[in-house]
Amino acid sequence: MKPKVQVALDLTKIEKAIKIGTEAVKGGVDWIEAGTPLIKSEGVKAIKKLEEKFPEKKIIADMKTIDTGELETSLAAEAGADIISVLGHSDDKTIKEAVKASKKYDTKIISDLITVKEPYESVERLEKLGVDYIGIHTGIDQQKTGKSPMKELKPVLEKANVPIAIAGGLNAENSASAIKEGASIVIVGSAITQAKNPTKQAEKVVKNVRNAND
């Protein structure tokens, strides 16, 4: 697949999320993510509002589901999500139910490997369970300890047959590096959302990603 740039709107107010999302779209981002804090603060209605504002973009619901796979996937899908996240730590049954619900609604599932000790060991299992994407993810708190998702990318890519997303402290420079390594989706949060000029930062990320394999 053609490399994608996803902006993670890890905010708490839908109005601000829409404002920054609009600026990021002007900068050329491909996909819009309703971040977990936004969904917890505003509810799944935040997904719906993003879908209404950006009908031409894929909307990712970062639900981080770890139980009630069918229910939570259905809630996000009914609100307008195109891709819904389920934690890689989840029980097989939870992931199967999420995949089942996603097929019903014609949506996709991404399995988030945040805090999984050896991410590459989960790839075969998750693919057999039917997920559409796998996400390598170093969380915000983990980043504070100096961890990065980049070192996990190559081992996961060597095992994977589905597209790989990567998130965790990404910016214009390391996003391009991730694409060169073989990632299909780079997920950029604060480098865009906390920038003085989100549009300009989004443009830099998108330009570097587009030129990464030239």
Q: Taking all residues of the chain, what is their mean pLDDT, rounded to a whole number?
A: 96
Q: Write the DSSP string, 16-31.
A: HHHHHHHHHHHTT-SE
pTM of the shown model: 0.96
How far apart CA 193 and CA 99 sit, in angstroms, is 30
**Could you tell me which residues come within 8 angstroms of residue 121 by beta carbon, excluding any fewer than 6 positions away?**
none
pLDDT tens readout for residues 45-97: 999 999 999 999 999 999 999 999 999 999 999 999 999 999 999 999 999 99
End-to-end, the C-alpha distance of the chain in Å comes to 16
pLDDT tens readout for residues 98-148: 999 999 999 999 999 999 989 999 999 999 999 999 999 988 888 888 888
Does pLDDT of 193 surpass 90? yes
Does pLDDT of 214 surpass 80? no
Does pLDDT of 40 surpass 90? yes
Are 113 and 135 in contact, with CB atoms under 8 Å apart? yes
- 168 conformational bin, left if phi > 0, alpha if psi -120 to 50, beta if neither: left
Give the residue carrying structure tokens 């997904």: 47
The class level of CATH for 4-211 reads alpha beta
